[in-house]
Structure 1
Amino acid sequence: MADEDLATLGPDAEPATTPRPLESGEDASAARPGGGEARWLSRIVIAGIVLAALNLRPAITSLGALLKEVREGLGMSGTVAGLLTSVPSLCFAVFGIAAPRLARRFGPGAVVCGGMAAIAAGLALRPFTGGTAGFLAASALALAGIAVGNVLMPVVIKSWFPDRVGPMTGLYSMALALGTSLAAAVTVPMTAALGGSWQSGLAVWAGLAAVAVLPWLAVVRRRPAAPGASADGAGTAAEPPVRITSSPTAWALAVFFGLQATAAYVTMGWMPQIFRDAGVSAGTAGVLLAVTMAMGVPLSFVLPRLATRMRHQGPLAVGLAACGLAGYAGLWLAPAAGAWVWALLMGIANCSFPLALTMIGMRSSSSAGVAKLSAFVQSVGYLISLPGPLLVGALYQHSGGWGLPIALMAGLLVPQMAVGMLAGRDRRIEDER
């Protein structure tokens, strides 16, 4: 894929102005200075990034808050309900791999716009399908939109803000964490305010997704052509192909992403139960999970900025995993006595996600490379994360306690540290052809 294939998100050029010299890893489309219109369009893109990020998790966390009511309303079996917890990772892996091809054909802006529309449609339809099959199909539509957004957001950031990858990834990650915790916190009270109907409580999130479509419509309407590209954005000069599957850095990033996703899904799915089994009340256990998720809001903004100032991000990966090890040790030894401390430590450990996103943007010198790397890392990573929550649940059921599951999760942090050190090295996938 040529870098120009993804330049449809670059700012408009001023033909009479001489472009400034490119910095390392910078796209030509981003180096061209623009006038007031280009600055206005950049602000629209920032708004689009924030709104898109806010919509990339409510489809999942709002359902978790109302899962009991959904099961009763649809007559859903426990097996199918358990399947719902694995569907997001599967959809992210399957649909995410198609994102670079779609971006090459239509442009990243158009694909992100379509993804937001798919999220809105899926969230609006699924509460009213009347059956389990329709509910799953509509959920898959929304998750497909989330999948392409997951993959292409690092591409948009690299294309538009090549010299501000850290701050913009931080803004994106912070908005994503905010959307995650917001949907988990307000879905139940909002459902009560809407009359107690779980259908209304789920469908209301479609409105936020519909709003996110608007800035991307403005971006798509202003699709400029890059130098050396045809009017439709198709490149005329191709760069040497990058073989992602032969890149050690790409594989290290993929495994790192998969292991951190495993830890995050186990935390979201099982941590409240660990506290409740230790004697913590249900209400307090829910608040503890909210505290864990809320930690991601400020830290997701700070960590990418810090990561981009470091030549090697491996020590950050090790430090975050060390917080996870301390948190798991506390959950094993004294889950109730130090509950608030363990919740904070697990919240810090979960910030490996924005670190992974930042490293994706830093490990390629072009937005085309970032597109390929993002699709590979997230698709392989989400596949790696699939068995984790199910295995933890099986160990808990068969052992009758949390000792083995916690030991498993603590053990997985060791290879996470190792691949984090490899992924954090100062190199580009283009150097590993």
Structure 2
Amino acid sequence: MMGLMVSEETRTMTPPTVRSPAAHDAGKPGGASTRAWTMRLLVLGIVLSALNLRPAITSLGALLEEVRDGLGMSGSVAGLLTSVPPLCFAVFGVMAPRLARRFGAGAVVCAGMAAIATGLLVRPYAGGTAGFLAGSALALMGVAVSNVLMPVIVKHWFPDRVGSMTGLYSMALALGTALAAAVTVPLTDTLGGSWQTGLALWSGLAVAAVLPWLPFVRGRVTPPGAGEEAAGSTQTRGPASASVSAEHARGEAPRLRMARSRTAWALAVFFGLQATAAYITMGWMAQIFRDAGVPAGTAGLLLAVTMVMGVPLAFVIPRLATRLPHQGPIVLALGVCGLAGYSGLYLAPAAGAWAWAVLLGVANCAFPLALTMVGMRARTGPGVAQLSAFAQSTGYLISIPGPLLVGVLYQHSGGWGLPIALMSALMVPQMVVGFLAGRDRTVEDEAAR
């Protein structure tokens, strides 16, 4: 799942035009050399940014028990803390395109990395639960806007290498996710055992990610022109499409009533339920293993295994999905892996820990599948953009209560039986709505009715 989280939390949208000083220098003496260095700097910035998009979450999951003890945090409040990421993604991610149009995508990503660095540095030393939550929200705000804008920058600067750059970005994101889960506990022990130090050290990686973006802070972002594309579309399509193209020529996208589409709703609920499972896993899985007697360092490695499963499967699943007319069988296969993993956590969490970690990692790859289906369930570019915005914004709102409810059940039941039962129960409707969303239909046809 996390291997393609790059898009888990990004909206599909028409990329703005990103202009940098290097673009103006391309025709001048030495311009080619400047352009080459600009591209290298962009690649470095993209990779470093991707590495920073999940450590704020998975480093906390590895040290959640120490944080709870240190702040006197109840299970319910800890559940609230693990619900903060989807809340921030839903609230702040929507703001990213508007901020990019005003200040420039490079400037917003740079500010996002700075927000991550500041939030990660401040939150362990804020002096209480409220301050810790505020610092986490600041860091996750930076994650949210960067999530949305990074693929836009990739698409503009590397139009002929979108696949390879997205793969590089996805692998870096998965690596950062797994790395924070795997090494936070050992590094904390090495640095004296202070959980504050163990969490704050990840701010250094975010500071490093700020530097490559500084030359792009003064870049300008303007809406793209669509006149030529609209004219070409009008010649090859019927009257209805000609009307759509005319709207593009005026810089407008035809509005679809997504609430009328059953497929759009199925995708939104599927997206929300898979995000619920992902954030419960990132926030609580290490604690489940630790409570079962697994050492803290090993529990972090198990979480890392779950996260890193997204690297290979993020490439395989979308390619397989696009070759099938109905993606329902893939949804069901991933769901069965999830149910098997949760059953193992319930029956023998320590004895089969590595197997359960792998199975849940496979199940979490419902995320790249959801994004692939968004692209397949709409016929036009504007339709994909509107469906993506609807599915993701609605889905993130749906995912907010899940981690909180797990914390409440854990606190009041005194064990993991009820929380794991809840996770298993949520997998069933996820399989149902995912199967419905996988049918070969388009939201344009359903919205028109």
State TM-score, norm by structure 2. 0.74
Distance 1:144 1:284, change over 3 A: closer
1:9-67 CA-to-partner distances (Å, cap 9, x unmatched) read 79969999xxxxxxxxxxxxxxxxx9787676555444333222211111122233334
Equivalent residue number for residue 65 of structure 1? 62
Cα offset, 1:327, TM superposition: 2.0
Cα offset, 1:196, TM superposition: 4.1
Q: CA RMSD in A?
A: 4.2
2-structure distance, mates of 1:86, 1:296:
22
User: Which of 168, 178, 183 in structure 2 is aligned with 1:181?
Assistant: 178
Distance 1:386 1:186, change over 3 A: same
Equivalent residue number for residue 341 of structure 1? 355
Q: Is the 8 A contact 2:90 2:393 kept in 1?
A: yes
Equivalent residue number for residue 231 of structure 2? none
1:214 aligns with 2:198: no
1:8 aligns with 2:18: yes
2-structure distance, mates of 1:368, 1:243:
9
Equivalent residue number for residue 417 of structure 1? 431
Distance 1:355 1:116, change over 3 A: farther
Distance 1:15 1:51, change over 3 A: closer
Q: Is the 8 A contact 2:42 2:212 kept in 1?
A: yes
Equivalent residue number for residue 330 of structure 1? 344
Gaps of 5+ in 2: 1-12, 227-247
2-structure distance, mates of 1:262, 1:215:
33
User: Which of 138, 156, 169 in structure 2 is aligned with 1:172?
Assistant: 169
User: Which of 241, 246, 255 in structure 2 is aligned with 1:242?
Assistant: 255
Q: Is the 8 A contact 1:242 1:429 kept in 2?
A: no
1-structure distance, mates of 2:296, 2:182:
14
Equivalent residue number for residue 139 of structure 1? 136
Q: Secondary structure at the match of 2:18?
A: helix
Q: Is the 8 A contact 2:62 2:286 kept in 1?
A: no
The correspondence of residues 12-411 of structure 1 with structure 2, limited to 5 A, is 41=38, 43-71=40-68, 73-74=70-71, 80-160=77-157, 167-221=164-218, 223=220, 228=225, 237-243=250-256, 245-246=258-259, 247-275=261-289, 284-307=298-321, 312-360=326-374, 373-396=387-410, 402-411=416-425
2-structure distance, mates of 1:180, 1:192:
20
AA matched with 1:263: A
Gaps of 5+ in 1: 17-33, 230-234
2-structure distance, mates of 1:370, 1:146:
23
Q: Is the 8 A contact 2:61 2:282 kept in 1?
A: no
Cα offset, 1:95, TM superposition: 1.4
Q: Which moved more, 1:46-55 or 1:159-168?
A: 159-168
Q: Secondary structure at the match of 1:8?
A: strand
Cα offset, 1:259, TM superposition: 0.8
Identity rate, percent: 72
Q: Is the 8 A contact 1:325 1:413 kept in 2?
A: yes
Q: Secondary structure at the match of 1:98?
A: helix
Distance 1:387 1:129, change over 3 A: closer
Distance 1:408 1:76, change over 3 A: closer
1:95-148 CA-to-partner distances (Å, cap 9, x unmatched) read 122223323433433322322221122223333434443333222211111111
Equivalent residue number for residue 239 of structure 2? none
Q: Is the 8 A contact 1:275 1:285 kept in 2?
A: yes
Q: Is the 8 A contact 1:321 1:417 kept in 2?
A: yes
1:277-335 CA-to-partner distances (Å, cap 9, x unmatched) read 65656655444333222323333344345445556544333322221122233334544
AA matched with 2:168: L
2-structure distance, mates of 1:193, 1:403:
34
* Count of residue correspondences: 412
Cα offset, 1:256, TM superposition: 1.7
Q: Is the 8 A contact 2:125 2:196 kept in 1?
A: yes
2-structure distance, mates of 1:316, 1:354:
11
State TM-score, norm by structure 1. 0.77
AA matched with 1:381: G
2-structure distance, mates of 1:383, 1:201:
30
2-structure distance, mates of 1:369, 1:215:
34
Distance 1:92 1:101, change over 3 A: same
Q: Which moved more, 1:368-377 or 1:92-101?
A: 368-377
Q: Secondary structure at the match of 1:56?
A: coil
AA matched with 1:292: T
1-structure distance, mates of 2:437, 2:164:
20
Equivalent residue number for residue 27 of structure 1? none
1-structure distance, mates of 2:415, 2:193:
35
Q: Is the 8 A contact 2:17 2:224 kept in 1?
A: no
